[in-house]
Amino acid sequence: MSDIILHHYPFSPFAEKIRRVLAWKKLAWNAVEVPNMLPKPDVMALTGGYRRTPILQLGADVYCDTALICDLLEHLQPEPALYPAHAKGIARVVAQWADTTLFTTAMAFNFGPRGAAQFYSRMAPDRVGPFTQDRSAMRGGAPRASHTDAAGAYKSYLRRIANMLETHPFLLGPQPCLADFSAYHPLWFTRTHTGDVAGVFDATPGVKDWLDRMAALPATPKAQWGAEQAIAIAASCEPAALPEQVFQDEHGIALGSRVTIASESSGTEPTEGVLMAATRMHYTLRRVDPRAGTMHLHFPRIGYTLRAVAAA
C-alpha cells in the first residue's frame, strides 16, 4: 500500500477528526500542510477543483471529504472499528448530524465576539481580512448564524452529548466510534482555538471528561512533507486498480462520461473528469493534471452533486 498522506492544517476541525481516527487505528501517516484559504495551487494539482480540508492521498488516489476518508481508513485497518456491529447505522447518523448541524452551530458560537477576537489575535493581521472573506465566499456570502442563537442551541447539543455519556464512556458504547470522532472536532475547536469561550462546557462535566479521553489518543504524524513531494509521488504512480464494483446509476450518466462533482454546500468548486465508478456510496473520477499526472479522485455520494458535462 502507498503511504498515507494527509493534506491538512493544524486548526482545521475536520482534519482533527481524521488525525484522531489515524491515532485510534494506529495508522502511520505523513503530513502535508496546506494553506487555510484559497489560493491553493498545490491542492488543485491533486484535486482539480475541490478545495476543502482535509484530503487524503494514497499515491495517485485522492479521497475527498472526511466521511469517505473514514470509510477508506476502516477498509485499510478494520480494527478498532469505526462502525461497530451494534451501532453501524446510528454511528453514521450521529456523525452526519455532528459534521453538519453541530459543526455549524459550534462554529457560529466559537466565532462570537470573544472567540473571534481570541482566534484572530493569533493570526497575522494581514491574513484576517482575506480569511474572513474566504469563509464568507465559502458560505455563498451568507452571514454566519447569530452567535447568541447558536449559544442556546450549542448548550442544548452539549446536554444531548452528556446524556449519551451517562451510561458508557463514549457516545455509543465502551469504545470510540465514528460518532465520537465527528462530535469531537467542533468541540475541540472551542477548547483549543477559542478557549476564552470554553466555559460553555462547565455545565456538562461529563462532556469535559469525554473530551479529555478523546484528546488522550496520541496524534503525531510520521513526517512533515512538502506539497511538491506529494505531487511527485502522485506523478510517479498509477491510480490503484478499481475493484469490480456495483454501478448504481441514479442520473442516467454512463461510466466513461465527462462529469463534474461538487460539494452541495460550502466550498462548491467542482472537479471535472471522467466518471470511472459510481458505487452505492461513492464516485470515482479520473483526471489528468500537468503536474500530478493521471489521478483518481474519490468523493462520497451523500453531500455531493454529480453533473454531466455538455459536449462542446
Ligand X SMILES: N[C@@H](CCC(=O)N[C@@H](CS)C(=O)NCC(=O)O)C(=O)O
Q: How far is the CB of 82 from ligand X (least distance, A)?
A: 14
Residue 12 interacts with ligand X (CB under 6 A)? yes
Nearest to ligand X of 266, 305 (CB atom): 266
Among 5, 14, 20, 282, contact with ligand X (rule: CB under 6 A): 14
Q: How far is the CB of 55 from ligand X (least distance, A)?
A: 8
Among 53, 105, 194, 271, contact with ligand X (rule: CB under 6 A): 53
Q: How far is the CB of 58 from ligand X (least distance, A)?
A: 16
3-state secondary structure the chain: CCCEEEEECCCCHHHHHHHHHHHHCCCCCEEEECCCCCCCHHHHHHHCCCCCCCEEEECCEEEECHHHHHHHHHHHCCCCCCCCHHHHHHHHHHHHHHHHHHHHHHHHHHCCHHHHHHHHHCCCHHHHHHHHHHHHHHCCCCCCCCHHHHHHHHHHHHHHHHHHCCCCCECCECCCCHHHHHHHHHHHHHHHHCHHHHHHHCCCHHHHHHHHHHHCCCCCCCEEECHHHHHHHHHHCCCCCCCCCCCCCCCCCCCCCEEEEEECCCCCCCEEEEEEEECCCEEEEEEEECCCEEEEEEEECCCEEEEECCCC
Q: Give the range of 10-18, 156-164, 195-203, 211-219 binding ligand X by CB under 6 A.
A: 10-18
Q: Give the range of 62-70, 140-148, 221-229, 268-276 binding ligand X by CB under 6 A.
A: 62-70
Pairing type for strands 30-33 and 61-64 reads unpaired
Grid coordinates representing 130 are 482575506
Among 65, 71, 180, 289, contact with ligand X (rule: CB under 6 A): 65
Residue 186 interacts with ligand X (CB under 6 A)? no
Nearest to ligand X of 71, 289 (CB atom): 71
Residue 51 interacts with ligand X (CB under 6 A)? yes
Nearest to ligand X of 13, 115 (CB atom): 13
Residue 67 interacts with ligand X (CB under 6 A)? yes
Residue 66 interacts with ligand X (CB under 6 A)? yes
Q: How far is the CB of 19 from ligand X (least distance, A)?
A: 12
Give me the torsion for CA of 223, 224, 229, 231, rounded to 10°: 110
Among 42, 61, 71, 99, contact with ligand X (rule: CB under 6 A): 99
Nearest to ligand X of 42, 99 (CB atom): 99
Nearest to ligand X of 34, 162 (CB atom): 34
Span 243-272, contacts to ligand X by CB under 6 A: 266-267
CB-facing half-sphere around the CA of 310: CA atoms within 13 A: 1
Span 24-43, contacts to ligand X by CB under 6 A: 36-37
Residues that bind ligand X (CB under 6 A): 12-14, 36-37, 51-53, 65-67, 99, 266-267
